[in-house]
Every structure is written in structure tokens, then in C-alpha cells.
Structure 1
Amino acid sequence: MSAKLVSYDSLNPRQRQQVEAIEVHQDQIKFSGDIHGALHTLLSKPGPGVKGFALLAEDVPVAFLLLKRPPALPVWADEHSATLHALQVDQRQQGKGYGKACLLALPAVAREAWPEIRGLELSVDADNAQAIGLYAKYGFVDSGEAYKGRIGYERRMGMSF
């Protein structure tokens, strides 16, 4: 598998169309949203606080994610971190290690985008055991805090550099 996490800004027009065609499994939409919501967040108010990244496999986008920094950083996040949002692997490409590839590449692309950050954080639904396990496997540590989120309780996880 040859996959590379690249900035959305670096995609050509065809690749941007392919990102728009990413399909999230129906069971995962409640956790990650869909690609249209993620792209709306990225493109509706462009600025330095939100960056999009696509995972390319053979130059075709198979996954997408957002990273946020101030002024778009969520209230629960540490000001010295970037936060991960809307990690979405196309349902037609799941089971091929693309989620893992995103998480392995994430620290380097986050530091390249914002060299001053000291870590990454994310919020994950407490009921999403599969995601919690995946994040933990690739270096995110559960803070032990649970709080009321948009669809139930959420856990905060982080990774320091």
C-alpha cells in the first residue's frame, strides 16, 4: 500500500472531486459526519485555524480529515495543540489500513502545518469503542475525562510531541 497524507490545498481539481465522492459508512456518520459537512467546515470560512488533509492511495483520495488551531480550536482543547476532526475513510476502501496510515502520518503533517504545536488532541464518542481502540493503538492517550457531547458522552484523547 502506497499512501500519503497531503494538504487539501495541494490537490488538483480531479482529486478534489474525488474527495467530494468519499462515502462514510452509515453507522459512522453519527461519529464523523459526512464529507459534505467536513468540506463545508473547511471551505465556508477559509482561514489559518482549519486545514484539510486527504490520504492519497495511488494518487486517489481514499480518506479525509480536518485539523484545527486557534481561532477554530474547540473550547476543550489545549491552546498549544491541534485537534483532529472528521476522520473519514471511504467505506469502499475500509479494511485496507488507510485509517492507520492517516494516524501514523498525522503528527508529521500537523507539525509541518503548525511547527509551534506541542501535541494533538481529539474528542471521541465514549460509545465508539472501535475508534477509541484505534486511536490508543497509534499513540493517543485517554485523558480520563468524559463530558457531555453532541450525541452523548465523549472522551478526550491526546498525544504529546
Structure 2
Amino acid sequence: MKLIRFQETHASLVDAYVLSEEQLRFTAHPSKSIPLCKAEPNRHAILGIENDRLVVYFALHEQEGVQPYSDNLKAILLRTLSTEYHELGKGYGKAAMQRLPEFVQLQFPHIDEIVLAVNVANEFARKLYTKFGYQDTGCRVMGSKGMLIVMSYPLEVPVKR
């Protein structure tokens, strides 16, 4: 699976992306997130592609997007992470989390921390984030879908190629 930035040529992949009602309890469909990314220059739509299929989606939000969760001006917020419903259980979410730090370092070299906010009721996601090194900051924020736990992943020295 490779991570790439959304381009208009990917629109048909987004149209075919399915999320269950349970998934929609905690996240938004890419069709709701991508217009926000187009409207805000600091918000970036990211696609996880495998065999020309969209299997994972998330957005990365700099500057004002991070402010409710961190005072670090060099942090980026991971938001609306999801795995396509028919691809659940195949390791794509784990692969995305594994590739994310290097992707951020290469695409956003000025960033030194990844921040996310996960719903307290979304135990599966919390365990996934913890497994990949995200730490609970102790900060709690009320979100539109309930109380959120703020987690952080500090980035190492940028990857050199």
C-alpha cells in the first residue's frame, strides 16, 4: 500500500469507498473531508492505495487544525482515518500507521509531531494508535461525536533519501 495526496483524478476511487454505520459513528466519509481539504490550504487529503483501490483515507491538518489539541506550531493533526469497509481486517490501517511517520517527514519536513484525537468509545482505534507509539497526552477535548483523547507521536530527525 502506498500513501499519496488526493488529486481530482482519484475522485472515482472516493465514490466507491464504503464505510459502515459503525465506522461513521467515529469518522467522516472522504467525500465530506475532501471538500474541506480543497477549501483550506493547511488541510491535506491522503489516500492509501493498493492495487489501484482506495483502501485507507485520512486527512492531515496543519496550523489551525492542531490548535485545539496542541500548542506545538510544528505539529500536524491526523484526522478522519478510516479503512474501506470491505478491506477491514486486512492490515491496511496498520500499514497506514506504520508508513505515516516517514510520509509526514518526507511531505512535511517542517513537522516534528503527529497529533490525533480519538473518541473515548473507539477502543479499537485507541489500541491501534498505542501499538504504533502514540502516547496519551492527558488532554481531553469534547468533540462533535463525544469526548476525545488527545494522543501524540514525536517525529525523529527527518528521513534522508
Q: What TM-score, normalized by structure 2, do the two folds share?
A: 0.88
1:46 Cα deviation from its structure 2 partner? 4.4
Aligned residues: 154
2:84 aligned to which of 79, 90, 112: 90
Identity %: 23
1:110 aligned to which of 85, 104, 112: 104
Name the CA distance, whole Å, in 1 between partners of 2:53 and 2:15.
Answer: 12
- Distance change >3 Å, CA 27–CA 129, structure 1 → 2: same
Residue number in structure 2 paired with 1:63: 56
- Gaps spanning 5+ residues in structure 1: where? none
Residue number in structure 2 paired with 1:23: 18
> In the TM superposition, what are the counterparts of 1:1-161 in structure 2 within 5 Å?
3-9=1-7, 13=9, 15-43=10-38, 45-47=39-41, 49-77=42-70, 78-161=72-155
1:160 Cα deviation from its structure 2 partner? 0.4
- Gaps spanning 5+ residues in structure 2: where? 156-161
Q: After TM superposition, what 4+ stretches of structure 1 lie above 6 angstroms from structure 2?
A: none
1:93 Cα deviation from its structure 2 partner? 0.9
Q: What TM-score, normalized by structure 1, do the two folds share?
A: 0.88
Q: Is the 8 A contact 2:137 2:152 kept in 1?
A: yes
RMSD: 1.5
Q: Is the 8 A contact 2:120 2:148 kept in 1?
A: yes
Helix, strand or coil at the partner of 1:136? helix
1:88 Cα deviation from its structure 2 partner? 1.5
